[in-house]
Amino acid sequence: MKVPFSLVSTAIFGGSYDEETQELDLTFSNGRTYSLHNVPKTVVEELQEAPSAGNYFRERMKGRY
């Protein structure tokens, strides 16, 4: 089951994560929602703790999941 969470970010409004399937949905400020697959829980935790979620996504997640 996906658990919703919010982020303090101007680029990403928030998301939801399913730990069992490792599926992450992120909703961006442009209104688009992206589904990412095989995202480890540690990566989601780092995204939530990052000073800039947008930068973290661009540098560590985009194109990998």
What residue ranges do the domains of the chain occupy? 3-61
Q: How far apart are CA 40 and CA 52, in angstroms?
A: 19
Q: How far apart are CA 1 and CA 11, in angstroms?
A: 25
Q: Which two tokens stand for residue 41?
A: 């829980």
Using pLDDT thresholds of 50, 70 and 90, give the confidence band for residue 8.
confident
Q: How far apart are CA 32 and CA 46, in angstroms?
A: 22
This prediction's pTM: 0.91
pLDDT for 10 beyond 90: yes
Q: Which two tokens stand for residue 9?
A: 């970010």
Tens of pLDDT, residues 29-64: 999 999 999 999 999 999 999 999 999 999 999 999
